[in-house]
Amino acid sequence: MGLVVLKFGGTSVSTTGKIAKTAEQAIREQKAGNKVIVVVSAMGKSTDKLLGMANEISQTPDKREMDMLLSTGEQVTTSLLAMTLKAHGQKAISLTGWQAGIETEELHGNARILDIDTDRLQMELDAGNIVIVAGFQGITASGELTTLGRGGSDTTAVALAVAMNANKCAICTDVDGVYTTDPRYVKRAKKLTQLTYDEMLELAHLGAGVLHPRSVEYAKNFRIPLEVRMSHGTEVGTMIEEEITVENTKVVRGIAFEDQMTRVTIHWEDKKEMHVSKVFTELAQKNIDVDIIIQGITGLGHGNLSFTIKSAELLDTLTVLEDKKAEIGYSDLESEQNLAKVSIVGSGMVSNPGVAARMFEALTEVDIPIKMISTSEIKVSTVVPDKKMVEAAQVLHDIFELEK
């Protein structure tokens, strides 16, 4: 008998009818001889509704109270799913994050999991229960409820799979696997049967919304086989593992894109006064994520630093930089909004030079301006105007023949 962890997102449990179909999937796994843990998100758009109510009260609601509010969404789903399973004659129990032993750091709104006490989970599984755990939440050592940030249910599922030494973790969603790019925008996108952890991690970080990056990191670090599959079907999805055995002939395996990006540029009159580390230290202390970074020195001895952030964090970023202007020592700063990031990803890029050149040539031929570039061993990212984002993805999908 093995152990399987299943995770169902909000669209997969948005109605009681869909919750009934989710119950069928859990029962199917149990009848196949597996013990089953199910991790669920809040129903449909219920988290957005809770956020909306909070924002009606305050534009800056207290983060602790927000965690108390938002953690209720997943608890509704767990109890309804447990009731459904019991109505079908199955033994089941619903658990909150803290009842499942999930301990997090002392950070409201975007906490990381530190440890999982598996005693309660093991006891319930041994009793024959299908165990339903509320995703997206945990508890601190001091007893405070916390949430893991958007997409945190993915992380909950993989972390539980690691802690319980599961045979597999399946992320069940409204798509039947991971595609070469987002099929909602690029109609020729093709489903992939396999990806490496590194490829999926890059795609997740670069804007592919199928999996939360932290969940892929967990799976990679502990070698937990990860499957992305359709919530209420039986078709095999995309397997994510350390090595792949097929479809590894293409240099580029996928294309990710993300809009709502802003470029911030800081200027110094004297390059000797550039306190670059101070910039990122101050931003990190405010939990502002910085993406692509470019530093430049002019022939006249001036210095500049450009980096991208999510547009929603622009106001906080400018506030931090202006408050610390004297310490950072810059002369002025500017920002450019309405940008997007388009990236190509593939483990084969390591041993195939010229991939970046083909990418830049293809974009230049259709008059898509490239404003920033970032590379790693298995990805190349470009910043382009957001109105050109989808066109850029389509052009690159064609030039690298990902539909074949």
Q: Mark the ranges of the chain whose per-residue pLDDT is less than 70.
A: 245-249
CB 346 within 8 A of CB 254: yes
What's the CATH architecture for 3-174? 3-Layer(aba) Sandwich (3.40)
What pLDDT shows up at residue 248? 55
What pLDDT shows up at residue 210? 83
211 contact partners, CB below 8 Å, separation of at least 6: 151, 154, 171, 178, 200, 204, 226, 228
List residues bridging with 139 in a β-sheet.
103, 145
- How many angstroms separate the CA atoms of 73 and 148, rounded? 13
What pLDDT shows up at residue 146? 97
- According to DSSP, residue 404 is labeled -
- What are the structural domain ranges in the chain? 3-174, 255-399
What pLDDT shows up at residue 322? 95
Burial classification of residue 401, based on how many CB atoms lie within 10 Å of its CB (0-12 exposed, 13-18 middle, 19 or more buried) = exposed
What pLDDT shows up at residue 245? 65
Full-model pTM: 0.82
CB 233 within 8 A of CB 6: no
In words, the CATH class of domain 255-399 is alpha beta
What pLDDT shows up at residue 7? 97
